Structure 1
């Protein structure tokens, strides 16, 4: 919420106290209505009163999200005409498209309330774990993080596949270990920030 919401944390070196909140002058809430949904169940402030209710999968997560949107709009009909964009980041890349497909199918089937779906947004989404892991070495080379020699060696020895490597492929495993050592001090979500930027580097 601090990335797009009305409040941000004041960025100061950590001193043991609680963070200070400041107004975010670039808040998306200045130009849109935003509902944050803690999902799947047992994340954020969401919870279940039974063990069975805590079970989740991508499909269940999408179903719950779709149900929530419908019920919320029924309870707040003044928002029915507003354009709806379903958004998520990170692992939501696996779920938001499923939820949007369910909403779209509901629109085609004439389900009420009729949702004014306009699209969806994904920020740095997970889409395919194998594809994402396999793209790390070419990306690191392209960004100048690893050498040409390591890039070529890993590509040759691992045959471009860096997921589920055969344990007997010693050369590939050595290249992957070298890659890990080259990148262990890098914050993978934003390579321009140091790993400890959230905690305050010393």
Structure 2
């Protein structure tokens, strides 16, 4: 791998990008601070001018990932257009798109074992990302009578878990290699079954 070039004042970001490359290649627990420093073209001692340790460096990569993730979810949600249902389904697909395009960020966010409450900035932006999916769930559940509405937080958690499971089992590495169905098709059908169970889609004929 080539070293990350950096300009004055940009070493912090060069270290983050180097760490994300290493995470993509080796996983969040598979690299050292010395390797991250080498990626950025500096000595290991220089890392400590910006980060308290490896977990702090990974947490910054995860924080930046959640920022990208939240923006992607907002874009997919598109203010609930063209319909609340279509927007809700789009947020699920955005999960797969993010995992594919930003594998280093994804692993830093979900596979590093970091405790969110130990990193307040990370916890705040993670909550921001979750709030987009919950907002989408609120809008789609408005179509049900109040007495038949499950909590929006539970519905959004179900879709998050379904999306995450499809990514972990079938979309990592060679997409679809472990399943006879493409990951996107698995997620779309899974969300469809879930929404039919809630009465938000008509039954199949």
Q: Which has the larger radius of gyration?
A: 1
More helix by share: 2
Fold conserved between structures, TM > 0.5: no
Task: Calculate the TM-score normalised by the size of structure 2.
Answer: 0.31
Higher RCO (CA 8 Å, separation ≥ 6 residues): 2
More strand by share: 1
Task: Calculate the TM-score normalised by the size of structure 1.
Answer: 0.31
